[in-house]
């Protein structure tokens, strides 16, 4: 993307995020990654009259490969964390989510925006106030529920006991002290009680495995008991390469908490495309987490909701064509949101 365009979308982003004179915006990056984003965010912050600086961490030294969430590069670096706590806003170009350091910075009142996706996708999925309002409607509804049931024509039937963990919104900008968000995003989620998720999930062709960044090709049956996955296999005795890959990946962490059930919710952005992974390679799949009417469940840590599971093994799995009920009230039916206030244009 041309640097002027990148400046322009960063300026729009920081305007949405309420940056103003007398604020300090810190930008965090790692190694040589996203130096152009850092420059554009700092330029945008200056245009809005804020002070700004860029903190660059060394490259990760651990073996590349697994997406080990929570290992932030700030661990063991209290001076750096303290500096970031002093900022009003932190633009995180590294993906700090699930790390202790992110929570400490938020607790100090610093708002955090993560931004790691390819620039054309950032431009395509600029936040809007309307989408924020619809995500917040979802938050209000989800907060009040005590159970969530998800079903699908392929055989999914799983129930989450709610009420233990808070709900979280992601609408792609953050103008509230201490609040984290991720650009681009449009979804709402919570987590089931630690021992309160039971049933079966059948992944169908076209459901999405993040961080593999692949579409499921052979159905996968997951058995869930008391909040943990106890079995992963193909359906009706059929072999499934996707089941084998999922099982092998989780096993490689050698951590029983990697089988825990993590966050769960639905996506609301009608501009986000299910086929998006084919169009914007190189990102972490935020378009897929956000596409309208997807039901996304996750595996692994629940510490971002205040839970005890901080395993680095994490999957997000957006699914098509599911139905989601809160206390038996339909919210998503066959992949379509049925609550008018959450639909585009409120219809
Ligand atoms: O924005 C995100 C990204 C990953 C994740 O698990 C949740 N939210």
Please work out whether the CB of residue 298 comes within 6 Å of at least one atom of ligand 1.
yes
Question: What band does 243 get if pLDDT is binned at 50, 70 and 90?
Answer: very high
Nearest CA to ligand 1 atom 2: 182
pLDDT at residue 264 greater than cutoff 80: yes
Question: What band does 72 get if pLDDT is binned at 50, 70 and 90?
Answer: confident
Question: What band does 207 get if pLDDT is binned at 50, 70 and 90?
Answer: very high
Half-sphere exposure of 338 (CA within 13 A, CB side): 13
Please work out whether the CB of residue 210 comes within 6 Å of at least one atom of ligand 1.
no
DSSP 86-133: TSSEEEESS--TT-HHHHHHHHTT-EEEE--S-HHHHHHT---HHHHH
Angle between helices 35-47 and 3-16 (to 10 degrees): 60
- Calculate mean pLDDT across residues 273-288: 94
The rounded Å distance from CA 171 to ligand 1 centre is 12
pLDDT at residue 64 greater than cutoff 60: no
pLDDT at residue 143 greater than cutoff 80: yes
> Model confidence over 34-47: pLDDT tens digits?
999 999 999 999 99
pLDDT at residue 12 greater than cutoff 90: yes
8 Å CB contact between 295 and 266? yes
CATH of domain 3-116: 3.40.50.2300
% of the chain with per-residue pLDDT over 90 = 93
The rounded Å distance from CA 222 to ligand 1 centre is 21
Nearest CA to ligand 1 atom 4: 316
Peptide bond into 184 cis (omega under 30): yes
pLDDT at residue 263 greater than cutoff 90: yes
- Calculate mean pLDDT across residues 135-162: 98
Higher pLDDT, 247 or 73: 247
Q: What are phi and psi of 136, to 5 degrees?
A: -70, -30
Question: What band does 281 get if pLDDT is binned at 50, 70 and 90?
Answer: confident
How do strand 111-114 and strand 89-92 relate by DSSP bridges? parallel
8 Å CB contact between 218 and 205? yes
Q: State the pLDDT at residue 346.
A: 84
The rounded Å distance from CA 95 to ligand 1 centre is 9
Please work out whether the CB of residue 132 comes within 6 Å of at least one atom of ligand 1.
no
Angle at 151 between CA 217 and CA 211, to 5 degrees: 40
Q: State the pLDDT at residue 30.
A: 95
- Calculate mean pLDDT across residues 84-95: 97
Strand ranges (E), the chain: 24-30, 51-57, 89-92, 111-114, 147-151, 157-161, 168-170, 180-182, 187-191, 197-203, 208-209, 214-215, 220-225, 228-233, 261-267, 295-299, 315-319, 323-326, 329-333, 336-337
Per the prediction, the chain carries an average pLDDT of 96
| Whole-number Å distance between alpha carbons of 276 and 142 | 27
Q: State the pLDDT at residue 65.
A: 62
Nearest CA to ligand 1 atom 3: 286
Q: State the pLDDT at residue 289.
A: 98
The rounded Å distance from CA 263 to ligand 1 centre is 9
| Whole-number Å distance between alpha carbons of 303 and 313 | 12
- Calculate mean pLDDT across residues 214-234: 98
pLDDT at residue 62 greater than cutoff 80: no
The rounded Å distance from CA 237 to ligand 1 centre is 32
User: Where is average pLDDT lowest: 28-32, 66-70, 96-100, 281-285?
Assistant: 66-70
Q: State the pLDDT at residue 60.
A: 80
Ligand 1 atom with minimal separation from the 185 CA: 1
Question: What band does 68 get if pLDDT is binned at 50, 70 and 90?
Answer: confident
> Model confidence over 292-340: pLDDT tens digits?
999 999 999 999 999 999 999 999 999 999 999 999 999 999 999 999 9
Q: Where are the domains positioned within the chain?
A: 3-116, 127-346
ipTM over 0.95: yes
Q: State the pLDDT at residue 135.
A: 98
Nearest CA to ligand 1 atom 5: 316
Q: State the pLDDT at residue 63.
A: 57
- Calculate mean pLDDT across residues 273-285: 93
pLDDT at residue 341 greater than cutoff 60: yes
Q: State the pLDDT at residue 323.
A: 98
Please work out whether the CB of residue 316 comes within 6 Å of at least one atom of ligand 1.
yes
The rounded Å distance from CA 236 to ligand 1 centre is 32
Please work out whether the CB of residue 124 comes within 6 Å of at least one atom of ligand 1.
no
The rounded Å distance from CA 287 to ligand 1 centre is 11
């Amino acid at each position: 993307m041309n640097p002027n365009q990148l400046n322009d979308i960063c300026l729009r982003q920081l305007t949405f995020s309420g940056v103003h004179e007398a604020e300090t915006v810190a930008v965090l990056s790692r190694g040589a990654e996203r130096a152009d984003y850092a420059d554009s965010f700092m330029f945008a912050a200056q245009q809005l009259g804020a002070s700004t600086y860029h903190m660059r961490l060394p490259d990760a030294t651990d073996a590349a490969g697994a997406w080990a969430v929570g290992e932030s590069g700030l661990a063991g670096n209290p001076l750096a964390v303290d500096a970031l706590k002093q900022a009003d806003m932190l633009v995180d170009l590294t993906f700090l989510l699930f790390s202790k350091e992110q929570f400490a910075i938020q607790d100090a009142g610093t708002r955090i925006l993560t931004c790691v996706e390819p620039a054309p996708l950032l431009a395509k999925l600029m936040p809007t106030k309307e989408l924020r309002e619809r995500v917040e409607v979802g938050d209000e509804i989800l907060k009040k529920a005590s159970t969530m049931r998800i079903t699908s024509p392929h055989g999914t039937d799983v129930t989450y006991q709610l009420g233990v963990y808070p709900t979280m919104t992601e609408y792609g900008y953050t103008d509230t002290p201490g609040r984290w968000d991720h650009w681009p995003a449009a979804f709402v989620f919570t987590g089931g009680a630690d021992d309160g998720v039971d049933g079966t999930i059948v992944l169908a062709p076209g459901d999405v495995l993040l961080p593999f960044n692949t579409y499921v090709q052979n159905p996968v049956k997951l058995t869930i008991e008391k909040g943990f996955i106890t079995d992963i296999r193909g359906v009706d005795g059929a072999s499934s390469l996707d089941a084998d890959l999922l099982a092998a990946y989780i096993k490689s962490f050698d951590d029983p908490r990697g089988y825990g059930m993590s966050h769960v919710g639905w996506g609301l952005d009608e501009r986000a495309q299910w086929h998006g992974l084919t169009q914007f390679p190189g990102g972490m799949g935020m378009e897929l987490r956000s596409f309208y009417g997807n039901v996304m469940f996750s595996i692994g840590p629940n510490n971002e909701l205040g839970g005890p599971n901080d395993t680095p093994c994490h999957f997000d799995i957006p699914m098509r064509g599911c139905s989601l009920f809160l206390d038996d009230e339909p919210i998503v039916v066959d992949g379509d949101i049925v609550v008018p206030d959450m639909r585009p244009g409120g219809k």
